[in-house]
Amino acid sequence: MSLGVEILISALLVIGGCFGLIGSFGLLKLRGAMQRLHAPTKATTVGVGASLIAAALATYMATGVANWQGVLVAAFLFLTAPLSGLMLAKAHRHLDRPTVPPTGTGAPWAGERPVKP
């Protein structure tokens, strides 16, 4: 294995690992539920994508046989990540009801201006 290919594979591995860690840390750290949807997409696309490319290159360089299952895994993940994100956002919108004050107390409801006397 030549030095350039080894440097390329190592850089891809380091980038993928860093992005996977950043995605999970963002899932733990961000405040809102909709914000938390944003962080793991980085781990899905860049983290796993770079790891798959690096692993496919490493096995090709070691064994001389090109395997296309890695490309298949990456394509499947890239296709299904927006769908699962959409379903999670829909479930969040469905379950997260806004709390309104009880009637008769004079408190304004959401979107209403308080009545001036």
Interface residues with other proteins (CB under 8 A) are 1, 6-7, 9-11, 13-14, 16-18, 20-21, 23-25, 27-28, 33, 36-37, 40, 43-44, 47-48, 51-52, 54-56, 58-59, 62-63, 65, 67, 69-70, 72-73, 76-77, 80, 83-84, 87-88, 90-92, 94-96
Q: Give the Cα separation of 7 and 2 in Å (integer).
A: 9
Closer to other proteins by CB, 65 or 115: give it: 65
Q: 37 near 89, Cβ under 8 Å?
A: yes
**In the bound complex, what is the minimum distance in angstroms from residue 109's beta carbon to other proteins?**
24
Give the CA distances from residue 25 to residues 8, 39, 40, 74, 82, in Å, rounded to whole numbers and listed in that order. 26, 8, 9, 22, 20
Nearest to 17 by CA among 37, 38, 46, 39: 46
Q: In the complex, what is the shortest distance from the CB of residue 105 to other proteins, in angstroms, rounded to a whole number?
A: 28
Residue placing its CB nearer to other proteins in the complex, 14 or 100: 14
